[in-house]
Structure 1
Amino acid sequence: MFADDEAPERSAPLPVPEPSCVGSGCGRWSSPTGVVQLRRLSQLLFLGLFVYLFLCASQSGLRHAFLPVDLFLRADPLIALMTMLGARVGMAHMVLPSLLVVLVTLFLGRVFCGWVCPLGTVIDLFDRLFLRGKKQARAERRSDTRRYRNLKYYFLLAAFVAAAGGLQCTYVFDPLSLLTRTFTCCVLTPTQLGWNALLGLLGGSQGFRFNVDFDALRVTQFYFRQTAVVFLMVAGILALSSYQERFWCRNLCPLGGLLALFSRVSFLRHRIASGCTHCTRCELGSRMGAYENTSKKAEEPFSHQLSECVHCYRCAAVCPEGVIEVAQCGPAKRAGCLPQEPVALSRRRALGAAALGVGWLATNKVSGAPKYQSDRCIRPPGALPETEFLQACTRCGECMRVCPTNALQPALGEAGLEGWMTPVLVPKIGPCVEQCTLCGQVCPTDALRRFTVKQKREDLKLGLAVVNQNTCIAYNGGRDCIVCAEVCSYSAVLFKDIRDDALGRKKRVPTVDEKLCIGCGICEKECPVIPEHAIVVRTLRENRSYNAPKPSLWGGFTRR
């Protein structure tokens, strides 16, 4: 029952498919241990590429990056589908990268999850470094493999229902968006702290003499709101691995669920040659619990679930008899491969997931309506109109990472529940620099469109600076203060003389030219009045309309 009588005998390891299988619809791959090492190398290389592109998301790095810094996000089919469904627009620059991932999945299965996904690699590294002692305890729980497996499909269904109503919710569970946000909020800040502390130690040490200006090597220290929330999310994902290996990837990841559906028709399948002793090592060693009922005492037939398999090749590597073959099986040869069970979803739970999506949609739309937003919800330049912006923004944090003044922060309550963690400009932390256009260059979904410095000056308006006459030094007491006018990049702060009867003389007070002010916030940042600055930016006279460039189909791999 478990053996393929027509399968050829196991031969010496070959680096390529056996020539005899060419044209027959089946190519067998050998040397499983070598493939495992190749898979690990692939994981590390793609994680290194992810880190490299993340580090390149800066003013100098964008000029030297050989690939788009948001390439992983553009190649995410879940983000592409949800954004196009929610925003009702085509994302031309995301079509080819995400389509490539889908095509690879259709032919080879969930190799993206096992060989490419950087979050999966981080989970594996955490597992290897901190959870090696729990392997036996987790092996005893592999009978729970099916208990939570379908949760990812229910989450995916709820997300599709919400997206159909115009709600972007991939930021909660999408692995690439989540990992990018984690690197921005939880990795960048401590790295900068450590680097600056090291330079301070070297520069101030009396035991060393360096002919180097260490202060010039310091980097701007970034801080982000909601760092604790982001940290708890990723810490929870890692901690779940203590219960079951790759618990997140097996049971919760909606991108994994989407790719699992595509992988069911893939050509790369598992075969069992004659000689299987039913030792169950493949079932215990499977990273995703793809093997089931391998024991002789099993009441159900032996099976291997393609939708769960990430082709880690661990099963073939641990098989003592060497009878597991991972083969390229065309339709003519699939009868000899292990049987596949259908994705059995409970109708009641599917309806519950759809209801969850509707409830999630209704709750966010009511609490996140634009009329309830704060007048301090200042969006970055190039942002789409608010409704479209909320539908397109994935909260990946790329724009926050690339902002040179740390001015872009994840929203708290400024934009309501629907706008939670979307980028907002916080002038108290930093201004929007006049010559900077970086945030529009790194947004994967064009929630922030590209713009030029000229468009930023002449067409776009983030808001309007407003002077509080009750706290302004020039208004309150008649003392001279021209800080806001000195720092304004757009010459939008003007002074006029007014008569003050209490002082018995005229005083010079600041006013804001509404035509020149774009709401960059540098006046608020530099205002000496604290804790509440006397001049603040509000979303008055905001304008997001301009002639934005249209994304091209080929821009997914070339646009930087």
Structure 2
Amino acid sequence: MKINLPRISQILFFIAFLALFVTTDYRGKDEISVALNSFFRSDPLVAVSYLLSAKTFTLLLLPGLLLLLFSAILGRFFCGWICPLGTIIDLITDRIKKRSPLSFLKGNLKYYLLLAILFAALFNMNLTGILDPLAILVRFLTFAFYPLFGFLGKEGWVGLYKVLGDSRDYLEPGYNLFKNYFLPFRDTLYPLAFLSLLFFLGILVLEKFERRNWCKNLCPLGTLLGLAARFSLFRRVPGRLCADCGDCKVHCPTAFDEEILQKSDCILCLECQRKCPSRRVGFKFAIDRGTKKPFFPGRRVFVAGLVSGLFVSRIFTPNSSLSQTRLLRPPGVRDEDDFLRKCVRCGECIKVCLRSALYPVSLQAGLYGLYTPTIVPRLGYCEYNCSLCGQVCPTGAIPRLPLEEKKKAVIGKAVFDRSHCLPFAKKMNCMVCEEHCPIPEKAIRFESVDETDYTGKRIVIKRPYVVEDLCNGCGICEYVCPLEEKAGIEVFKRAKRKI
């Protein structure tokens, strides 16, 4: 039996992917040396969209451009040897009973999707993260699977402790290992968890109709790699089905819809070579002397993609009114438009947030802001001595700042609501916000004011005020406010942010 090298590679890369996913979390250290962002930085679709939307280059995404170059030399190997989503699909597809393929997915739909994404990026609207396969998988794991895994893991240990009774102390080292290295640090129910689950399950449901359906007919990353693979001289020999056999069409998951192998769809899984009864099939570097297809499907597809990208870039226009008020971005983000052009919506900054301050935006900022991170001070706050979000961001949308510089990064401005804050509304002294302010010089201070209480008695009230030049908008004051529901102090986004 021949060794299945692509499957071995898939398993190894999938293990590496899961290991990086688990380690991209707070594990008691202020630095994350190796993170899941390495996969996104090797994503050619992320790299190309970044270049088109940001109109600049960053060395962070050089691996993605190199992978695109290697695909032009070797073919679409990423999809068959590395992609973690492709690995999951391959592991389950044979267990799903197939129906007739969906005809509307055939043809040029994948090119329309890719071009719409790329032209929208060119028109300054980067939507790559919505349909990028790595982002879809990571969001499913971050927002849906991993929190559920953490809940079931902890509940399982609790149940086991109850069963063992006094003998449970023997399990403590095992639980500490499990907790410190595998369980999520943050126990949170995320908005958009169900939507993330639906995205992921939708890709798996497509396997009901065809093997590697998403990869062959929809995936924008696979389509981009397929275009690059058309230049490749590394090809299958023979390039068409054998007249006396034709079994390759049965074994091939992507590339043999026709008699001639479609090089842009071949994911180099080597199934045809491994299962060839006559051992005729091989792969080598050679000039393709067969019938060549045009590099691109046609001008009509190109023009339609251009128009679609322009249209999408207009309907996804962000909600500017909200972005000037309560849409608080992570520390270091100074320009909202620049942030949106760079954010890949992977959710890893949200996952590592030490004080549960970051959450994915749903529709508050329009469709364009979907899945981007925002700080919700009533649910958490930005830890003064933490810079993890900038460390794990794959594209630099959240800058990686030195800790001392991050402490000065302005997120927003705290403002007292005089109709709710106790010293103003109830004429009661309250110093909770000032006590928790992490700024050494204290951005919240008090002034003594002579007042008459509701019984007519003269009292001295300490009324708080915010020193705007010191406040960085971390949100801890709003988080710790003792009032229920609406806080007496709230953080609002500044029109112009600074570092």
Normalising by structure 1, we get a TM-score of 0.81
User: Are 1:497 and 2:470 counterparts?
Assistant: no
Name the structure 2 match of 1:34.
Answer: 2
CA distance in 2, matches of 1:203, 1:51: 28
Distance apart, 1:87 and its partner CA: 0.9
Shift of 1:39: 1.0
Alignment partner, residue 437 of structure 2: 488
Match of 1:399 among 349, 357, 380: 349
- Tell me by how many angstroms 1:360 deviates: 0.5
1:303 deviates by 0.8
Contact 2:415 2:490 in 1 (8 A): yes
| CA distance in 2: counterparts of 1:340 and 1:523, whole angstroms | 66
In the TM superposition, residue 200 of structure 1 has moved relative to its aligned partner by 2.4
Alignment of 1:313-392 (within 5 A): 313-329=270-286, 331=287, 334-335=288-289, 339-342=291-294, 345-365=297-317, 368=318, 370-371=320-321, 373-392=323-342
* CA offset digits 1:478-525 (Å, max 9, x no partner): 233222122221122222222333433222232222122111111111
Distance between the aligned counterparts of 2:256 and 2:377, measured in 1?
A: 55
1:182 aligns to 2:140 (yes or no)? yes
Partners of 1:221 and 1:473 lie apart in 2 by 31
Give the counterpart letter for 2:330 in structure 1. P
Do the aligned residues in 2 keep the contact of 1:478 with 1:508 (CA within 8 Å)? no
The letter of the residue matching 2:157 is L
Q: Is the 8 A contact 1:203 1:215 kept in 2?
A: no
Provide structure 1 residue ranges, at least 5 long, that are not aligned to the other structure: 1-32, 294-301, 547-560
Tell me the alpha carbon deviations over residues 399-420 of structure 1, each in whole angstroms, 9 at most, x when there is no partner. 1111112211111244333222
Aligned 1:507-518 pairs, distance under 5 A = 507-518=461-472
SS in 2 for 1:499: strand
Question: 1:526 maps to what in 2?
Answer: 480
Cα deviation, 1:44-95, whole Å, max 9, x if unaligned, reads: 1111111111112124387787644311100111111111110111112211
Contact 2:240-2:260 at 8 Å conserved across structures: no
The whole-number CA distance in structure 2 between the counterparts of 1:304 and 1:401 is 42
Report if aligned partners of 2:30, 2:386 keep a CA contact under 8 Å in 1. Answer: no
Is 1:246 the counterpart of 2:212? The answer is yes
The correspondence for 1:440, drawn from 385, 390, 394, is 390
Q: Secondary structure at the match of 1:494?
A: strand
TM-score by length of 2: 0.90
Counterpart residue type for residue 148 of structure 2? P
Deviations, residues 313-346 of structure 1 (Å, cap 9, x unaligned): 11223333332222232x3xx33xx644335625
Q: Secondary structure at the match of 1:319?
A: coil
Query: 2-side partners of 1:487 and 1:215: how far apart?
Result: 31
SS in 2 for 1:157: helix
Alignment of 1:81-120 (within 5 A): 81-95=48-62, 97-120=63-86
Partners of 1:190 and 1:147 in 2: how far apart? 33
Structure 1 residues 311, 376: closer, same or farther in 2, change over 3 A? same
Instruction: Write the distance in 1 (CA, Å) between the matches of 2:165 and 2:31.
Output: 37
Q: Retained in 2: the 8 A contact 1:107–1:268?
A: yes
Residues 1:272 and 2:238 are matched in the alignment: yes
Q: In the alignment, is residue 478 of structure 1 matched against residue 432 of structure 2?
A: no
Please state whether the residue corresponding to 1:474 is helix, strand or coil: helix
- Cα distance in 1, alignment partners of residues 389 and 472 from structure 2: 16
Residues 325 and 215 of structure 1: is their aligned pair in 2 closer, same or farther, counting only changes over 3 Å?
closer
Give the whole-Å Cα distance in 2 for the aligned partners of 1:275 and 1:231.
Answer: 39
Deviation of the 1:118 alpha carbon: 0.8
1:312 deviates by 0.9
User: How many pairs does the alignment contain?
Assistant: 486
Q: Which of 93, 106, 109 is matched with 1:151 structurally?
A: 109
Q: Report if the CA contact (8 A) 2:328-2:376 is conserved.
A: yes
Distance 1:542 1:501 in 2: 40
Q: Which residue of 2 aligns with 1:454?
A: 404
Relative to structure 1, the CA distance from residue 500 to residue 347 in structure 2 (aligned partners, 3 Å threshold; closer, same or farther) is: same
- Pairwise CA distance, 1:364: 1.9
1:430: how far off?
A: 0.8
Letter in 2 for 1:400: I
CA–CA distance in structure 2, aligned partners of residues 373 and 65 of structure 1: 30
Deviation at 1:396, TM superposition (A): 1.0
Partner letter of residue 197 of structure 1?
E
3-state SS, counterpart of residue 34 of structure 1: coil
User: Would the alpha carbon gap of residues 526 and 292 (structure 1) be closer, same or farther in structure 2, given more than 3 Å must change?
Assistant: closer
Which of the numbers 148, 154, 159 marks the counterpart of 1:196?
154
What is the distance in 1 between the residues matched to 2:32 and 2:339?
27
AA aligned to 1:499 is D
Quote how far apart the aligned CAs of 1:164 are.
1.1
- Is the CA contact (8 Å cut-off) linking 2:32 and 2:392 kept in structure 1? no
Instruction: Judge which range, 228-237 or 273-282, deviates more.
Output: 273-282
After TM superposition, list the pairs within 5 Å mapping 1:199-278 onto structure 2.
199-205=157-163, 207-211=165-169, 212=172, 217=179, 219-272=185-238, 276-278=242-244
Distance 2:250 2:146 in 1: 37
In 1, Cα distance between the equivalents of 2:158 and 2:313?
49
How many angstroms apart in 2 are the aligned matches of 1:356 and 1:48?
Answer: 38
Identity, % of aligned pairs? 33
- CA distance in 2: counterparts of 1:107 and 1:65, whole angstroms: 34
Instruction: Indicate the residue corresponding to 1:48 in structure 2.
Output: 15
Bigger radius of gyration, 1 or 2? 1
Alpha-carbon deviation of 1:279?
3.1
Task: Classify 1:512/1:372 alpha carbon distance in 2 versus 1 (closer, same or farther; 3 Å).
Answer: closer
Residues 86, 62 of structure 1: CA spacing in aligned structure 2 closer, same or farther, 3 A cutoff?
A: farther
User: Does 192-201 or 259-268 show the bigger shift?
Assistant: 192-201
**Following the alignment from structure 2 to structure 1, what is the Cα–Cα distance between the partners of residues 327 and 240?**
66
Tell me the equivalent position of 1:536.
Answer: 490
Determine if contact 1:465/1:512 at 8 Å carries over to the other structure. Answer: yes
Return closer, same or farther for 1:500/1:70 CA change in 2, 3 Å cut-off. same
